[in-house]
Amino acid sequence: MNARLIAMAAMALGMAGGCNRPDSSARHEAGAAGARPITIGVSMMNLSNEFIVMLNQAMEDKARELGVTLIVNDAQRSAEKQVQQIESFIVQKVDAIILNPCENEASSPAVDKALAAGIPIVNVNSETRSAPTAFVGSRDEQSAQIAMEYIAQRLKGQGKVVMMHGFMGQAAQLKRDQGAREVLARQPGLKLLADQTAEWDRAKAMTLMENWIQSYGDQIQAVFAQNDEMGMGAVITLEQAKRKDKVIVASVDAIADALQAVKDGRLDATVFQDARGQGGGAVETAVRIVKKQPYEKQLYLPFQLVTQENVAQYVK
């Protein structure tokens, strides 16, 4: 009986394996051109996060294009693990390091250690308190400002809004909260009815939205969710409650699902963060530093509002 079960399980996994995307290998063989290929150590915050995966793919593509070798490590959200990974890059004598920091404070020692060892370090996507050799990313506050301003414009400056927070205390949550509140302060007609965390999670966002509908009913005119997962949760719940036509939903990240929903007219707006620009820019900057070419010390890539009008250029 057990053998049969295992065979069936293998079948289930095999069938499911259909959606597996080919895993990009961590090391790329460099082109034969240079004497010794440039090697860059990369520590990514969390390779189970869709956006970080996109960022990593952009880096791999750029590395292949430039003929440099990447050694990619996943810090799995642990700043402590991240510091260890940088230490091992230093021992391996890599030419440069790209750090996608887990945390502002706790990942700072990674930057200090690399600089002390004389290895240039480029921060990508998020910042650390210690200043790296270069930074490539976006201002997270801006994403929330763009989304909230879109809501303000749609409501003509008058209306009641609810906000879904990410995981409380994380850098992205704090900055997106700050950005959203800046707009609210400028727009006295916008009232924040309630705000609560759904921990970046779609299922939790659905629960929260159900409870808010129960509590506030028709009062809610717009939802700002600090990421698309939660925004999608709000959309699904509002659709099930047959209220989506009365409520505007805007969120941040422009993940594939959200772009499709914008295209289908379900989600009103999302904010595009340029993963390709950030990942590619980080590798390019690192290579320029190693080759002693001029580089931007701080490269900020702007966020872009995505609505039904311009979604076509973002959907692959």
Partner 1 sequence: MPCPTDKLRTWLRQFGLLIALAALVVGLSIVKPTFLTFANGINVGRQISINGILAIGVTYVLLTGGVDLSLGSLVALTGVVAACLAHPGQYPTVVPVAMGILAGAVCGAGNGLMVTKGRVAPFIVTLGTMTVARGLALVISGGKPVSNLSAPFTAIGSGDLAGIPVPVILLLAVTLVSWVFLRHIRLGRYIYAVGGNENAARASGINVDGVKLFAYTLCGAMAGLAGVVLASRITTGQPNAGVGYELDAIAAVVIGGTSLSGGVGGVGGTLLGALLMGVINNGLDLLNVSSYYQQIIKGAIIVGAVWLDKRQES
Give me the residues that bind partner 1 (CB under 8 A), please: 2, 5-6, 8-9, 12-13, 15-21, 23, 47-50, 53, 165, 168, 194, 196-197, 201-203, 206-208, 210-212, 214-215, 232-233, 236, 240, 255-257, 260
Q: What is the dihedral of CA 127, 130, 135, 139, to 10 degrees?
A: 30
- Give min distance, CB of 11 to partner 1, in A: 8
Nearer to partner 1, 94 or 249 (CB): 249
Three-class secondary structure of residue 161 per DSSP = strand
Nearer to partner 1, 87 or 219 (CB): 219
- Give min distance, CB of 197 to partner 1, in A: 4
Nearer to partner 1, 36 or 242 (CB): 242
- Give min distance, CB of 8 to partner 1, in A: 6
Q: How many CB atoms lie within 10 A of CB 115?
A: 16
Inter-residue long-range contacts of 242-245, CB under 8 Å, 24+ positions, other chains counted: 243/213
Report how far residue 242's alpha carbon sits from residue 291's, in angstroms, rounded to the nearest whole number. 58
- Give min distance, CB of 170 to partner 1, in A: 12
Q: Is the dihedral of CA 167, 83, 143, 268 positive or negative?
A: negative
Nearer to partner 1, 134 or 249 (CB): 249
Nearer to partner 1, 58 or 208 (CB): 208
- Give min distance, CB of 191 to partner 1, in A: 13
Report how far residue 111's alpha carbon sits from residue 211's, in angstroms, rounded to the nearest whole number. 43
Nearer to partner 1, 12 or 312 (CB): 12
∠ CA 40-46-51, rounded to 5°: 95
- Give min distance, CB of 230 to partner 1, in A: 11
Nearer to partner 1, 109 or 279 (CB): 279
Written as one string, the DSSP assignment of 247-278 is -EEEEEE--HHHHHHHHTTSS-EEEE--HHHH
| Residue with tokens 């927070």, as numbered in its chain | 165
Contacts of 53 (CB under 8 A, 6+ apart): 47
Report how far residue 260's alpha carbon sits from residue 262's, in angstroms, rounded to the nearest whole number. 5
- Give min distance, CB of 19 to partner 1, in A: 5
Q: How many CB atoms lie within 10 A of CB 7?
A: 10
Nearer to partner 1, 6 or 312 (CB): 6
- Give min distance, CB of 47 to partner 1, in A: 6
